[in-house]
């Protein structure tokens, strides 16, 4: 069998197909998607494609016209989606740059635009960040990969980071359509969020030499097309409203494949197929996961090469830590550690000092700027440590040699997200009661997790009083 690419460029698309695509877009937004609609549009796309029924000689399908149609949903007459067997890629008509040989280390920027611009749109950035660390940690430890995974979700910070050299950029977050124009929502200190148009995003990418951009953002296909027109060799966008878990799983599998020296085309196909089952073992999930695996759109040159060409190191790696919330404290401590050799983190027991310190140590290791993290006690010895030190204690620093940072209790929102992470399925009103009675103490949540689960008000209050007594004893240790 001879591999070949087949180009799809229909001369005529009926209006009914565009209408069906809009219906599909609305169904994904409203989470009312069903398999009948997916098959219907897939069949109509097939009718316009001009493809032969026998596709055994085809290695990949190439879409040469930028149409707002979900060609990735092509449905074969034999009863299956073509993307199960073939890679589907898109091409811009713009003259493209050639794939450049990447330098060592392979530099990756992971940036999330905005984590929670509303209570209905909360991005589980901590889980996504953990997925990326897990996918890259072997190469990070071997200093083959430098990863900057930013927890500072401001547009100015993103523009500043783009001044550095990146081989791959992973951008996740929220998109908003307003008066027919699409925006990304970034954090803002003066407003609920800052809207940045796709046109402005394209502007700040104009002079970059990045090889691959991954947009794990809802309805980012049009932005992916525009970035590809700039000459970026490989750009991936999402056709419709993508679920957070689906996007995070796609990123993880894509990064793993890139680290295994796959081409971008093969890595996208591997990640796409991994999205077919989003549920964890024995999990019941209320989200509608249908059609998510068909959503990634790949804009790429006809011939692609592995972005990463180094051999995977044969070493052991420890589990990657996950940090829930604490993005502001993380950013503030990150800046202190960049400018000072001795930083002292302190606060009452159980509010997440250790988790925050470990996340910072992980972050600086990924940047190839390791720091020493120490739990400070009476016998702590720092005389032989030359690197930057992050000390953790319940008490303020003993002298002015240290730059101090006092960690306060987490916000109610961060506390509730951490409770959900632990699997504590209390209603929102009861979570607020738990937050108030435990004063936002994470250790208290772990103690509550060890008690029989109950949503009865009198039982929960009795359990919380028991936890309070344990916390008082814990604080005196």
pLDDT in tens, 31-50: 899 999 999 999 999 999 98
**Neighbouring residues of 105: CB distance < 8 A, sequence distance ≥ 6:** 143, 144, 145, 146, 368
Q: What is the pLDDT of residues 101-137, one digit of tens each?
A: 567 899 999 998 865 544 444 446 788 888 899 999 9
DSSP label at residue 450: T
- Tell me whether residue 455 is exposed, middle or buried, using C-beta atoms within 10 angstroms of its C-beta: 0 to 12, 13 to 18, 19 or more: exposed
Above 60 in pLDDT, residue 3?
A: no
Region 358-382: mean pLDDT is 84
- pTM, two decimals, is 0.89
* 12-to-9, 48, 431 alpha-carbon distances in Å: 9, 8, 56
Query: Which is more confident, 23 or 93?
Result: 23
For residue 90, give the H/E element and its range.
strand 87-90
Enter the tokens of residue 127.
Answer: 């889980």
Enter the tokens of residue 104.
Answer: 């060592």
Average pLDDT, the chain: 88
Whole-angstrom distance, CA of residue 106 vs CA of residue 136 = 11
Enter the tokens of residue 425.
Answer: 């399925």
Query: Which is more confident, 228 or 119?
Result: 228
- Answer yes or no: are the C-beta atoms of 216 and 248 closer than 8 Å: yes
In this structure, what is the dihedral angle of CA atoms 345, 350, 354, 357, given to the nearest 10 degrees? -50
């Amino acid at each position: 069998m001879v591999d070949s690419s087949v180009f799809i460029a229909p001369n005529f698309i009926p209006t009914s197909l565009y209408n069906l695509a809009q219906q599909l877009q609305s169904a994904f937004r409203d989470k009312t998607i069903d398999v009948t609609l997916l098959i219907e549009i897939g069949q109509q796309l097939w009718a316009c494609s001009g493809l032969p029924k026998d596709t055994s000689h085809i290695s990949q399908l190439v879409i040469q016209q930028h149409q707002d149609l979900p060609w990735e949903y092509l449905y074969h007459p034999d009863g299956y989606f073509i993307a199960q067997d073939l890679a589907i890629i898109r091409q811009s008509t713009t003259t493209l740059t050639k794939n450049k040989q990447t330098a060592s280390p392979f530099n990756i920027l992971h940036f999330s635009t905005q984590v929670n611009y509303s209570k209905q749109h909360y991005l589980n950035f901590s889980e996504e960040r953990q997925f990326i660390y897990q996918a890259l940690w072997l190469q990070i430890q071997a200093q083959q990969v430098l990863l900057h995974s930013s927890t500072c979700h401001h547009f100015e910070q993103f523009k500043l980071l783009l001044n550095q050299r990146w081989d791959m950029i992973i951008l996740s977050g929220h998109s908003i359509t307003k008066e027919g124009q699409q925006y990304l929502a970034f954090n803002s200190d003066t407003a609920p969020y800052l809207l940045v148009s796709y046109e402005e995003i394209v502007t700040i990418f104009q002079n970059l030499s990045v090889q691959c951009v991954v947009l794990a953002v809802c309805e980012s296909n049009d932005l992916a097309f525009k970035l590809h027109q700039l000459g970026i060799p490989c750009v991936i966008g999402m056709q419709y409203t993508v679920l957070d878990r689906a996007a995070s799983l796609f990123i993880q599998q894509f990064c793993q494949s890139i680290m295994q020296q796959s081409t971008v085309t093969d890595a996208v196909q591997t990640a796409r197929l991994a999205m077919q089952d989003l549920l964890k073992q024995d999990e019941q999930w209320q989200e509608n996961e249908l059609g998510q695996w068909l959503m990634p759109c790949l804009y790429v040159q006809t011939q692609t090469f592995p972005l990463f060409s180094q051999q995977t190191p044969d070493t052991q790696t420890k589990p990657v830590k996950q940090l829930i919330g604490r993005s502001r404290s993380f950013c503030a401590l990150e800046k202190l550690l960049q400018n000072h050799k001795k930083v002292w983190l302190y606060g009452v027991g159980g509010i997440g000092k250790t988790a925050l310190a470990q996340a910072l140590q992980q972050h600086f290791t990924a940047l190839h700027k390791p720091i020493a993290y120490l739990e400070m006690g009476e016998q702590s010895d720092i005389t032989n440590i030359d690197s930057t030190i992050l000390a953790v204690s319940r008490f303020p620093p003993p002298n002015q040699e240290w730059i101090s940072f006092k960690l306060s209790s987490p916000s109610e929102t961060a506390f509730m997200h951490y409770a959900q992470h632990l699997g504590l399925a209390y209603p929102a009103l009861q979570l607020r009661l738990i937050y108030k009675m435990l004063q936002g103490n994470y250790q208290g949540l772990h103690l509550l997790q060890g008690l029989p689960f109950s949503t009865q008000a009198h039982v929960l209050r009795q359990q919380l009083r028991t936890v309070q007594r344990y916390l008082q004893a814990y604080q005196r240790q």
